[in-house]
Amino acid sequence: MKTLFSQHIVRLQQIVQQALELARLDGLWIYAGGMKYHFLDDQTAPFKINPHFNYFFPDPTAEQSWIFVDGKNKPKVYFYAPQDYWHVVPNPPVSAFFADEFDWQMLTEPSQIKQYITQPQHCAFIGDDVALAESLGFEHINPKKVLNVLHFERSIKTEFEIECIAKAQYSAIKGHLAAKDAFFSGKSEFEINLAYLQATEQSDNNVPYGNIVAINQNSAVLHYTRLDTQLPKARHSFLLDAGTTCCGYASDITRSYAYDPQSEFAQLVAQMEQFKLAIIDELKVGINYLSYHTQMHQWISQMLREFDFVKLPAEQIFEEGISRIFFPHGLGHQLGLQVHDVAGFQQNHRGTHKAPPDIYRSLRCTRDLAEGMVLTIEPGFYFIEMLLNPWRNAPLARFFNWDKIDHFKQFGGIRAEDNVVIRANGAVNLTALAER
């Protein structure tokens, strides 16, 4: 990791040089961020680090720390290490694999940073605390020209970043296996979540996103996080969407299961798994992500016909938009320091934005695939009454097998999700490698 991180910093220095030249600035002051208090309360939300800080400094716990970088000199970290008997203060990672890439200055009080920021009018502040930036004299606060370069480059991962995401696959797979065992042994959603957290050595406060632990019809809620404490009367299906992190870089994996392996729902689960792997095999540099999303809708249209959910030709099912009822989200998204990572719509360093087409508003990537991108591939198939209901009185309603559709609503839905890195000769499935 040490060598990979050294190479990572070299590339980031080049990126910073490019951004500073475009913005005509001398350097970047990147603030890690701090705890945020709830309204009229002395309790805080869980700390979430500024991803731009984490991009340079792979410690997502470095609250109220700073980095100064100018693209030429060794980056300097101003690490906040207070004296505190109320809370556990993290030890400065001065012996970590990445420590030698920085000059270090310790802060025991947040206000001490002011003595080190001598010419803020010639530098950019990158962070969420605008009031703090203004109080320190910064005039260039999150300038677009700088952010556009940083965001676009973050969409192309270094080998260090890819290794971190790959490591996060292994810990997440341990959790998925523990959760699967918990479901089939008769545990509730709440208990399954505990099994996942224990296996991955995480708490609910530091998972990369809220775990989706859904039994039966709950899996038709795309971002279901309620966690029932009681078991349903009957178990039909289980969906787990959960990940872990390594140095701040996330994994994002989903698996679906049929309680009865001989059921038709089990056949649907197997079919969606095949679709996922087939589309991953087709991913190539230079091809727009939208084309793969469209291909998945065509395949799901065929599945709707083959499993007798809709009695129309697959081509018509696709053209009429019926597949979008059953697959209402995007095929996937960029993955990195943020689960839904930046620049999915950004086409170049200038920040040119390409929105998804109106018929696929939930699509999170409109980019041509490039070497070094890391993405999720997560086709889904659901029985969602809110989306089905408008079609019950539509002109094509008589072609829907409503009895069968209503029967399958008890299963909720299916999602199959892996994380891939785009290489020159195609995609490498990082999740599948961790499962071997």
pLDDT value, residue 90: 78
417 annotated as belonging to a binding site for a ligand: yes
3-class secondary-structure state, position 415? strand
Q: Could you tell me the pTM of the whole model?
A: 0.95
Over residues 211-225, mean pLDDT: 97
pLDDT value, residue 12: 98
Q: Which helix (H) or strand (E) holds 190?
A: helix 189-200
What is the overall mean pLDDT for the chain? 96
Q: Which helix (H) or strand (E) holds 32?
A: none
140 annotated as belonging to a binding site for a ligand: no
pLDDT value, residue 226: 93
The two beta strands, 426-429 and 380-382, are: unpaired
| Token pair in block for residue 181 | 């065992």
Q: Express as a percent the part of the chain with pLDDT over 70.
A: 100
How far is 338 from 248, CA to CA, in rounded Å?
8
| Token pair in block for residue 409 | 């609503």
| Token pair in block for residue 338 | 């943020």
pLDDT value, residue 83: 86
pLDDT 10s digits, 118-136: 999 999 999 999 999 999 9
333 annotated as belonging to a binding site for a ligand: yes
Amino acid at 123: C
Confirm or reject CATH 3.90.230.10 for domain 159-435, answering yes or no: yes
Domain residue spans of the chain: 2-154, 159-435
Amino acid at 203: S
CA distances from 185 to 111, 172, 233 (A): 54, 20, 14
* Alpha-carbon torsion (201, 203, 209, 215), positive or negative: positive
pLDDT 10s digits, 144-202: 999 999 999 999 999 999 999 999 999 999 999 999 999 999 999 999 999 999 999 99
What does 285-329 look like in DSSP terms, one character per residue? Answer: TTSBHHHHHHHHHHHHHHHHHHTTSB-S-HHHHHHTTTHHHH--S
Topology adopted by domain 2-154: Creatine Amidinohydrolase; Chain A, domain 1 (3.40.350)
Over residues 66-82, mean pLDDT: 96
Helix axes 144-154, 2-23, angle to 10 degrees: 150
Q: Is it the case that residue 87 has pLDDT exceeding 90?
A: no
Backbone angles phi, psi at 250, to 5 degrees: -100, 155
pLDDT value, residue 155: 96
Place of tokens 């989306």: 387
282 annotated as belonging to a binding site for a ligand: no
Comparing CA positions, the residue from 179, 149, 131, 189 lying closest to residue 55 is 149
Most distant CA atoms of the chain, gap in Å:
74
CA distances from 81 to 63, 69, 77, 133, 180 (A): 9, 20, 12, 21, 41
pLDDT value, residue 126: 98
How far is 127 from 31, CA to CA, in rounded Å?
5
pLDDT 10s digits, 341-397: 999 999 999 999 999 999 999 999 999 999 999 999 999 999 999 999 999 999 999
What does 126-171 look like in DSSP terms, one character per residue? Answer: ESS-HHHHHHTT-SEES-HHHHHHHHHHHTS--HHHHHHHHHHHHH
Burial of 159 (0-12, 13-18, 19+ CB in 10 A): middle
Burial of 82 (0-12, 13-18, 19+ CB in 10 A): middle
When pLDDT is cut at 50, 70 and 90, the band that residue 88 belongs to is: confident
pLDDT value, residue 128: 96
